[in-house]
A and B are shown apart, each in its own frame.
Chain A
Amino acid sequence: MVRNLATVATVAVGALLTQNWAEAAELTFWSWRQEDKAAYEELIADFNKQQPDTTIKFETFEPQNYQTVLSTALAAGKGPDIIHVRAYGNLETVASPGYLRPIAMDEIPDLKAFPALSITAETMREDGNLYAVPFASQTLVIYYNTDLFAEHGVTAPETWAEFLAVSQTLKDAGVIPIANGTATAWQNEILVGTVVPSFYGAQFEADVVAGNATFEDPRFVGALEKLTEITDFLPDGYTGIDYPTAQQLFLTGRAAMFAGGSWEIANFRKQNADLNFDIMPSPAPNAGDPRLVSTFFDGGYAVNANSEHDEEALSFLRFAASKDFGQKLASLLGNISPVPGVTFDDPILSKVSQFNDTAASYIMLVHFRYEEPSGSVLLQQTVQRMMAGQATPAEVGKEVTEGIATYYTPFQ
């Protein structure tokens, strides 16, 4: 009797399984956003309300190794159906060997209203094809501790002169004015991206991209000169202060300001819920000048060119380009979604979105991180040296230009 029941049960389960196999498509979706897993599962549940037959399994990998894991899987002809890809040079690493399915604008009509720069970020330069639906942008800002500012009677500075004066007041009171150090190489590029675009101006970026100016241009060198003025206000021994230390100095209230990206907002709130902070764009050279913030797009959602579930994967991308998705991504994860019409309840996020109206590109990532030696590698090393007092801004400009000139013909 028992045996009979077991047989019946096995047959029934088997039948159910085969039925499911026949109808439902099972897709995999890879990402490096480990801490966002819960939110993505909620978004996938929303998608299933429209398409109950498609199940999507969200799998994450350690961010530093994600690109290697992904490229290896794709090179072996495997990999997920839906791929969280990065932008610019990193996108091209995956797209140029033909691993990603090109997306025509007509297939996802919502994309036509996306900001042009977000589309460029996910487009391969060589063939002009779009390969992913952009998901978020990041902006470089200056964080400040509102309690410390109030305690020492200073307000958020608007010009460079005011910024230096506020820093001096804080320093005299025994507070570290700016938390950042230069020991972690990429933090140097962050400092450049946060402070200098307002000094070199939007026209300089356009000139460099058009090939009419190099990084030896007086506008860029002059802007770097300004950056060296902050070394007095960094922590003692700042050449030995790494990124995690800088974050901790700001989080524990030992330092009043922190130059960093908008991705820190959620992280700061999680690590110290009692910290009262606000953000500001880089100070203006003179009162009334535009205050440019550096922005870049973080990545997007792409479809594996070898996926057996092309249609289902594409319909998920269509959903990812919708306002519902963008709105939820913004409220759950604090991401600045490029989907038009998304609103931000969080006052700091909505500030970021306002700053983005006067934005410059995070210049090396957006334009010069495609080939070796990348503009970022060159800039990080030379600025690190400049901040340690072992190179002049002019030397930085020269070395960066010469390095990029090895593959960028307008610089030759």
Chain B
Amino acid sequence: MPSRHRLSHMAWILFLIAPAVVVMVSFVLIPIASALAYSLYDWNGLARGEFIWFANFQKVLFQEPFNRWTLNAFTHNVIVFCALMVVQNVTGFLLAYLIFKEPFGYRFYRTAVFLPVILSTVIVGFLWKLFLHPLFGIVNQFLNGVGLDALALPWLGDSRTALGALIFANAWHFVGFPTLIYLAGMQRIPRDLIEAARLDTSSELKVLRNVIWPLVAPATTIIFVLTFIGAFNWFELPFIMAGLDGSPFGSTDVLGLYFYRTAFGNQSAGVQDFGMGSALAVIIFSFILVAAATWTIYLRRREIEL
């Protein structure tokens, strides 16, 4: 039987974690559970209809044309994730390395690279939409100015370039974030370790590959998982730059836009379907949860091996 002292200790612990538990339950667990419950009903606008088991999931995943749209949006999320890993995070790693070497004015670069990160996505989206405007945008005016008229495309209106343009804007916005994390990781490496390595080899590339890269592995894990979650929850930037429909004709559609359109309707075209929307939300959430957890475990193991 626990002593009185022990009991009062337990009571204190319960008392102290209670606020956090209440907040977690009411703002995280209950919404997730209710989204799951909503997805099992037929909805009439916002009025709940009959319990229909997994019919909403069946519709979203297997019925034409919704299955095509789901796959299309999912594919774009995957592309966005891979492209951001390469464009945003590799650039971030290289920038971090350059700043780490402390060239002349590195303090300025450190601030300059991070500056766009603090801008709101709304502002960044709007700015790049203006820059890429086919008639008034500076990008095309520049291309025309230097005689590259053939390259002056309607970037956001062309299905071949629209998604790329969005990824580029996103990378411009957030490249400072992986840079900062890698930089912090590199600065944590003991100096003498790097200097010892430099004595052994004259190849800077080998130092980078065999010493720095393995020692910033925890940074890579964090960046990988955050990029993954960010890429699959991508909404603001495509919403501002491409609109709710993922214009042109779905070439920039991602799961976030598709979910919003389905659940809340699109004033100029769609119908509200809360059940299908919730089903989509549950699918997106489960996918992110499982994939992010698996990867985190895998990458943590890799950190130790490296």
* A75 contacts B by Cβ under 8 Å: yes
Stretch of A93-101, A194-202, A336-344 at the chain-chain interface: A93-101
CB distance from B80 to the nearest CB of A (A): 20
Check if B31 is an interface residue, CB within 8 A of chain A.
no
Q: Are A185 and B247 in contact (CB under 8 A)?
A: yes
Chain A residues contacting B157 (CB-CB under 8 Å) are 181-183, 237-241, 388
Please indicate the chain A residues that have their CB under 8 angstroms from the CB of B46 in the complex: 71-72, 74-75, 97
CA distance A107 to B133 in the complex (A): 54
- Chain B binding surface, main DSSP class: loop
Q: Are B268 and A186 in contact (CB under 8 A)?
A: yes
Contact with B along A42-79 (1 / 0, CB 8 A): 00000000000000000000011001100110110000
On whether A236 and B134 interact (CB within 8 A), knowing A185-B247, A373-B65, A390-B159, the answer reads: yes
Residue from A64, A245, A402 in contact with B133 in the complex, judged by beta carbons closer than 8 Å: A245
Please judge, given known A-B contacts A240-B156, A372-B271, whether A380 and B134 are in contact too, CB under 8 Å.
no
Contact of B270 among A372, A390, A403 (CB under 8 A): A372
Binary flags per residue of B49-66, CB closer than 8 Å to A gives 1, else 0: 000000000000001111
A237 with B134: CB separation less than 8 A: yes
| In the complex, per-residue mask of B135-159: 1 if CB is within 8 Å of any chain A CB, else 0 | 1100010000000000011111111
**Chain A, Cβ-Cβ closest to B132:** A240
Give Cα distance in the complex from A189 to B248, angstroms.
14
Minimum CB–CB distance from B285 to chain A (whole Å) comes to 21
The CA of A380 and the CA of B245, in the complex, are separated in Å by 9
Do B264 and A68 touch (CB < 8 A)?
A: yes
* B77 CB → nearest A CB, Å: 19
In the complex, A80 has a CB within 8 A of chain B: no
B64 touches A388 (CB 8 A): no
If the complex has contacts A75-B46, A97-B44, A237-B153, are A384 and B264 also in contact, measured as CB distance less than 8 A?
A: no
Q: Contact between B243 and A374 (Cβ–Cβ < 8 Å)?
A: no
Residue from B64, B135, B158 within 8 A of A239 (CB atoms) = B158
Tell me which of A93, A98, A376, A388 contacts B248 (CB under 8 A). Answer: A388
Return chain A residues, CB-CB under 8 Å to B45: 71, 75, 93-94, 96-97
Pairwise interchain contact B272-A71, C-beta atoms closer than 8 A: yes
Tell me, yes or no, whether B267 is within 8 Å of chain A by CB. Answer: yes
Instruction: Judge if B33 is at the interface, Cβ distance under 8 Å.
Output: no
Asked if B276 is an interface residue, CB under 8 A from chain A, the answer is yes
| CB of A28 closer than 8 Å to a CB of B | no
Contact status B249-A388, CB under 8 Å: yes
Q: Is B47 among interface residues, defined by CB-CB distance under 8 A?
A: yes
Q: Could you tell me the distance in whole angstroms from the C-beta of B257 to the nearest C-beta in chain A?
A: 12
Q: Please give, as numbers and ranges, the residues of chain B lying within 8 Å of A240 by CB-CB distance.
A: 132-134, 153-158
Contact code string B64-107 (vs A, CB < 8 Å = 1, else 0) = 11100000000000000000000000000000000000000000
A372 and B248 contact, CB distance less than 8 A: no
Chain A residues contacting B133 (CB-CB under 8 Å) are 240, 245
Interface flag for B266 (CB, 8 Å): yes
A185:B269 contact, CB within 8 angstroms: yes
Q: Which residue of B lies closest to A187 (CB)?
A: B268
Looking at chain B, what size class is its interface with the partner chain?
35 or more
Tell me the bound Cα distance from A283 to B247 in angstroms. Answer: 29
| Interface flags, B249-260, vs A, CB<8A=1, else 0 | 110000000000
Residue of A96, A183, A403 near B156 (CB, 8 A) is A183
Residue of B nearest to A64 (CB): B267
Q: Is A318 an interface residue (CB 8 A)?
A: no
Q: Which residue of B lies closest to A66 (CB)?
A: B267
Most buried by A among B134, B158, B249: B249
Q: Which residues of B contact A68 (CB under 8 A)?
A: 264-265, 272
Shortest Cβ distance from A379 into B: residue: B269
A207 in the interface (beta carbon within 8 A): no
Contact partners of B271 in chain A: CB under 8 A? 89, 93, 369-372, 374
Decide yes or no whether A306 CB sits under 8 A from chain B.
Answer: no
Tell me, in angstroms, the Cα distance from A385 to B246 when the chains sit together: 13
Chain B neighbourhood of A67, CB < 8 A: 265, 267, 272
A380-B269 in contact (CB<8A): yes
Closest chain B residue to A92, Cβ basis: B45
Query: Chain B: which residue is nearest A94 at the CB level?
Result: B45
Verify if A184 is at the interface (C-beta below 8 Å from B): yes
Nearest Cβ on chain B to A189's Cβ, whole angstroms: 7
* A169 CB–B CB distance under 8 Å: no
Q: Which of B66, B132, B245, B264 contacts A381 (CB 8 A)?
A: B245
Nearest B-chain residue to A71, judged by Cβ: B46
Instruction: Assess whether A377 is interfacial by the CB under 8 Å rule.
Output: yes
Report Cα–Cα, A235/B157, bound state, in Å. Answer: 13
The smallest C-beta distance from A24 to any residue of chain B, in angstroms, reads: 32
How far is the CB of B122 from the nearest CB of chain A, in Å? Answer: 15
A74-B46, A369-B271, A403-B65 are known; give 20 further A-B pairs, CB within 8 A.
Answer: A93-B265, A96-B44, A97-B45, A182-B248, A183-B154, A183-B243, A185-B243, A185-B245, A189-B269, A237-B135, A237-B152, A237-B154, A240-B153, A370-B271, A373-B66, A374-B269, A374-B271, A376-B269, A388-B159, A402-B64
Can you report 21 residue pairs joining A to B where beta carbons are below 8 Å apart?
A63-B267, A67-B267, A68-B265, A71-B45, A89-B271, A93-B44, A93-B45, A97-B44, A97-B46, A183-B248, A185-B269, A189-B268, A237-B134, A237-B140, A239-B248, A240-B153, A373-B65, A374-B269, A374-B271, A381-B249, A388-B157
7 closest cross-chain pairs (CB), A and B:
A240-B154, A237-B134, A240-B157, A239-B157, A97-B47, A237-B154, A186-B268
